A and B are shown apart, each in its own frame.
Chain A
């Protein structure tokens, strides 16, 4: 009996250890990438889940704690509720969250992820479902200005942050009294402010672009509207419009573009917009300059498909058809473009040349796996990390770079600065970890071209399927080859010319060389 117990204990211990060895922290998503043909290929994960913080971990229970300085009331919710937007204020390391369901704005310290400020309805500034938030720090006067897209109150508030609980209202940007603005309602969803304190706001169901207000509250017009997607219906309508009578025209539906859902501003002042409507190919993602023109509006970039290539795919686990809905865009400090797909919960990261860097993140309706989302509403890059706000799970997921991700990012950085040789070493590390990472081969090839190893460069460009680069490398290689073999080639040409001349001379002299040789041999045989 004792032996039996001992054996079972041993077995149990062995079992536990072996299973704990096998269990490794895997990402909640299958990392993949797209090759040059547009086929998905498995890849390494560039980001991993660092931690997930909910209201409790952020210290929201202080709101109901009378001893705390952040105390609001005993009934105050101690979690997020359908939060819609985030904004990272770089200089102060503050993350501002629009906690829409609780009608309040929350300020987090990103170093500790603890709440350091809460701005709730206090009688003067009653936020009602604030959908968007933006903050701007004025270092000269040491003032932080907070801009809130106050959805239900039909206004954008500009406030000054006084302390951790109070805001001073400075200005309200309300529905423009302009003939240009012909929508009945004014429901600002997202807000951003440029360097000259102009306020841009995306207003729900307004398709003519974002409303722009000057800093003193004057409506200045619309900014960066999408174009109409040239679908069959639109083209047919254009034709009918040509021949229809005025009466028929009046009853006709106008073809309007889809409005863009969200935007972000980079450090150079370019505004990037993203369109949420499913299966948009026209103006899905734009980089808009100060004049409101899409500077990616050229043939090359327009061929880039943002998000998944196959825009509607089946999710096997939940058996739902997923179609890409890009809901948020964020430009990181290193100028990477991060797109958040609401439907699939995936984040697509691109560099400034619109080359895909990483895809990460996942959505799961059923399980509450760490790092997967139910309603990913917003993403924000906070220094090196990426924060994703979930409006249904009411938490924030923090993705941080893996070793692979760090390698890729540093290589891309060097590559974009033109330091090809330095980047090549890191690209080698990338290739060791993921042999299918396309951009690495382009980088390696460019380094080889830079160092004059054209043959090797051609090999790399062939792997990465980049025809243009291959062509360039081949041009140099051919030049090199020709100059190296110039002696032999010129000698061959001279010999050929001499032979031709000799042939002509012999013909001119009337000597049938072939005949005489044949005759010679015949005679020789006879004798």
Chain B
């Protein structure tokens, strides 16, 4: 039983939100390569929404294109989520390894990515009066992924339902702290760089006269 290929396992967890992740864990399956691909697809779905959305729906400032916010919203948020979740849950008896957290999180994101592509495609066909369809697909993808995410976190750490929710909220808090620290570290390094550069300039002036 449950002898699937990797893509079969992905299908299985998406269409079996109640038991899928438990099965995945029990069989010790899930591929890190796949999750990397999924996160890239997440980035591309955001990119597609930014650039390929139908003109009547696209309210982005399209005069300039900046890829950094998109990377932040996809890859950086994903990594901070994984790191935050791992650091919270290792303290609270979570059984998930960092690798498993990364894999399960990305698997849970698949419906969101797929429906994001779907609504981007539909926005090229539908007029503004029919925006309810796009909204419907967006919410469908979001809701589905949310349910999967709760299940994934529950399965990976072997938590009760309530504990999962609390740990997820705590993870969001941890993400904020992580990002704050990241910004702080960046600023500090900038200061250090500035200091070193100033010293270098000073020395240069002295030597050069």
Contacts and interface: CB of A to CB of B under 8 A. Distances in A.
Interface stretch (B12-20, B56-64, B132-140, B141-149): B56-64
A467 B63 contact: no
B63 A471 contact: no
18 contacts: A37-B63, A39-B63, A458-B55, A462-B55, A467-B56, A467-B59, A467-B128, A468-B128, A470-B55, A470-B56, A471-B127, A471-B128, A474-B54, A474-B56, A474-B127, A475-B127, A478-B125, A478-B127
Contacts of A458: 55
Interface residues of A, number: 11
Contacts of A468: 128
B69 to A, nearest CB: 17
Contacts of A467: 55-56, 59, 128
Contacts of B56: 467, 470-471, 474
Contacts of B59: 467
Nearest to A469: B56
A478 B128 CA distance: 13
A461 to B, nearest CB: 8
Interface residues of B, number: 10
Nearest to B56: A471
Interface of A: 37, 39, 458, 462, 467-468, 470-471, 474-475, 478
B125 to A, nearest CB: 8
Contacts, number: 22
Does more than half of chain A's interface fall in helix, strand or loop, or is it mixed? helix
A270 B7 CA distance: 69
Per CB-CB distance, the 5 closest pairs between chain A and chain B, nearest first, are A471-B56, A471-B128, A475-B127, A471-B127, A470-B56
Contacts of A478: 125, 127
Does more than half of chain B's interface fall in helix, strand or loop, or is it mixed? loop
A471 B125 CA distance: 11
Interface string B139-169: 0000000000000000000000000000000
B124 to A, nearest CB: 10
A470 B56 CA distance: 6
A39 B59 CA distance: 16
A471 B126 CA distance: 9
A462 B3 CA distance: 52
Contacts of A37: 61, 63
A39 B125 CA distance: 30
A325 to B, nearest CB: 30
Contacts of B61: 37
A144 B55 CA distance: 57
A474 B124 CA distance: 10
A468 B63 CA distance: 19
Contacts of B125: 478
Nearest to B131: A471
Interface in B32-55: 54-55
A48 B129 CA distance: 45
Nearest to A462: B55
A497 B54 CA distance: 30
Contacts of B128: 467-468, 471
A474 B54 CA distance: 10
Contacts of B55: 458, 462, 467, 470
A155 B63 CA distance: 55
A37 B60 CA distance: 10
A470 B128 CA distance: 10
A471 B59 CA distance: 13
A470 B127 CA distance: 9
Contacts of A462: 55
A304 B56 CA distance: 21
Given A462-B55, A467-B56, A478-B125, 19 more contacts: A37-B61, A37-B63, A39-B63, A458-B55, A467-B55, A467-B59, A467-B128, A468-B128, A470-B55, A470-B56, A471-B56, A471-B127, A471-B128, A474-B54, A474-B56, A474-B127, A475-B127, A475-B129, A478-B127
Nearest to A35: B63
The residue among B55, B59, B61 with the most chain A CB atoms within 10 A of its own CB is B55
Contacts of A475: 127, 129
The residue among A462, A468, A474 with the most chain B CB atoms within 10 A of its own CB is A474
A475 B63 CA distance: 25
A35 B44 CA distance: 30
The residue among B54, B61, B125, B127 with the most chain A CB atoms within 10 A of its own CB is B127
